[in-house]
Amino acid sequence: MRPVTRLAAKAACILLPALLAGCTLDTEVLGPGVPGPQGPAGDAGVNGEDGLPGEAGTPGTPGTNSWKDGKDPDRVTTKVDVGIGMEPPEAPAACLHTRGTLSKNLGQVSVSAKDKKTVTGQGINFKDFGLAPGDAVKIAGETIEIQSITEDGSALTLNKEHSKAPVTEDAYVDPDVLFAIDNGAGTNKLTVTRGGDVGIGTTNPLANLHVKTHAPASGSVQLLVEAESPGVAYADLWLIASDNGTPGNGLIRRTYDGLLTLANYYGPSPPNSQFVLDTNGNVGIGTKGPTNRLQVGGGKVHALGTGLSTGFTLDNHQWYQSGTGPTSVSIFNAGGTDTLALREGNVGIGIPDPKAKLHVNGNILATGSITPGSSRDLKRDIRDLPAPEALAALLGLHPTRFRYKADPNDEQLGFIAEDVPELVATSDRKGVSPMDVAAVLTSVVQQQHETIAAQQGVIAAQQRRIATLDERLRRIEAKLGL
């Protein structure tokens, strides 16, 4: 029996009592017959003497087994197993055991003597009949299960050889629906198909178990798994997949205290919960006891998507999502404006498209030092800055007063990047490097210092010469008596 067929049988045994609620299906066996009534009195005796009483009637014949409608209050009932589509001496293997009728004609097929497991049919596509591996087919009075069907549906492979091959006969399979219960008006409420699929509320189940409701009332339940107390700590719904006999089990569990878990379970050890939803609305992934709205343990969170399609909410005002690039991340405020952006390794604060490793649109406040790297190990093409070039750059600077548009209340002093000499401007002409300006000033100041030192030497020599001349003049004046 195929797994889906076993599922159908189990589902039928579970669901029949509920579906037949309000109906009575009694099997009744009549007991042995009771003795017949007292026989009539004999004829009058001769010479006027009274006749002797007649003998008692013979007992009635024993009753035979029969079905009754269950309305007789004096009936004698018994439990029996019912077989449908079975012939003596076969006995049903369950309280209700149905066997397929194999009454649907597929047409004429052939099984060759060379390959006694292959069935072909002229102009027949077996897939058009909805056949599947595990279905039974009857050919020349022999019933064999189908092992496989070719991709184009032109041939069947049986799970054993046909004992009468070669043979050319009509082939028969079960009808599309093996079992159905309707509501009295011809609308099926329970359907079991030839493939073992069970439909509740649908005559065309699309899965092993297909439950369909029609305009359900508020609060109605479509599928209920109930574990009745006392002594039952949880209700489980198992999802089992088996590969070469090795089961991999999924478990959905609802505990008595309201915890809902989703777990992988390979038994016999207790289930390892991968997803937990507690009664406070907290969700745990990889943890059994979440203390926050979302708590992830032992792994990373990976959201897939593009553009504005992926993200999650932070508090009530911000949300995080992937940007447009492969390594782009943004944090937006409630108005949809970037407050932090990561683009290809560049970080932007207040700007969506940072042009440097750290690009800030606004003021920066540092309570400690900001130190740019200046080691020789970090640099190349090192050479002196000529003093004339530095002086030309310094003279080309035009100090201004201004206010940043992002902070109009704070007046600043500085330069306009588009107007400064190329020596101190950034490559995109959007900024001025303070270190470049400092280097220009240092070169000019050093040159001026050298110039001043030289001038001071000249002045000192001149002062010494003047002192010598003053002394000579004083002596001359003394000789002259002046």
Same domain, 389 and 446: yes
Cα 3 from Cα 16, distance rounded (Å): 20
Same domain, 297 and 340: no
Same domain, 308 and 294: no
Q: Domain span at residue 266?
A: 229-301
Same domain, 315 and 259: no
The total domain count for the chain is 4
Cα 179 from Cα 196, distance rounded (Å): 10
Confidence of residue 414 (pLDDT cuts 50, 70, 90): very high
Same domain, 310 and 297: no
* Between 346 and 12, residue with greater pLDDT: 346
Q: Which amino acid is at 239?
A: L
What is this structure's pTM?
A: 0.45
Choose one of 137, 152, 173: the last residue of a domain: 173
Say if 118 falls within a structural domain: yes
Tokens describing residue 8 = 């159908």
Say if 81 falls within a structural domain: no
Say if 456 falls within a structural domain: yes
Confidence of residue 109 (pLDDT cuts 50, 70, 90): very high
Return the pLDDT at 444.
94
Choose one of 344, 359, 374: the last residue of a domain: 359
Say if 334 falls within a structural domain: yes
Return the pLDDT at 103.
86
Which whole-number Å values give the CA distances from 389 to 395, 423, 451, in the listed order?
A: 10, 9, 16
Choose one of 283, 301, 319: the last residue of a domain: 301
Cα 250 from Cα 264, distance rounded (Å): 5
Is the pLDDT assigned to residue 322 strictly greater than 50? yes
For the segment 46-72, the average pLDDT, to the nearest whole number, is 50
Tokens describing residue 405 = 């548009």
Return the pLDDT at 170.
93
Say if 18 falls within a structural domain: no
Return the pLDDT at 130.
84
Mean pLDDT of the chain: 76
Return the pLDDT at 12.
44
Cα 433 from Cα 356, distance rounded (Å): 13
For 167-193, write each residue's pLDDT tens digit. Answer: 999 999 988 887 888 877 777 788 888
For the segment 346-365, the average pLDDT, to the nearest whole number, is 87
Is the pLDDT assigned to residue 266 strictly greater than 90? no
Please give the order of strands across the beta sheet that includes 260-265.
Answer: 234-243, 246-255, 260-265, 272-277, 283-285, 294-296
Same domain, 408 and 467: yes
Same domain, 242 and 269: yes
Return the pLDDT at 278.
86
Say if 393 falls within a structural domain: yes
Residues 42, 51: contact at Cβ < 8 Å?
A: yes
Say if 16 falls within a structural domain: no
Same domain, 325 and 256: no
Same domain, 482 and 389: yes
Same domain, 308 and 297: no
Distance of CA 54 to the CA centre of its chain: 89
Same domain, 327 and 348: yes
Return the pLDDT at 313.
56
For 278-304, write each residue's pLDDT tens digit. Answer: 888 888 888 878 888 888 887 777 666
Cα 77 from Cα 66, distance rounded (Å): 11
Same domain, 278 and 236: yes
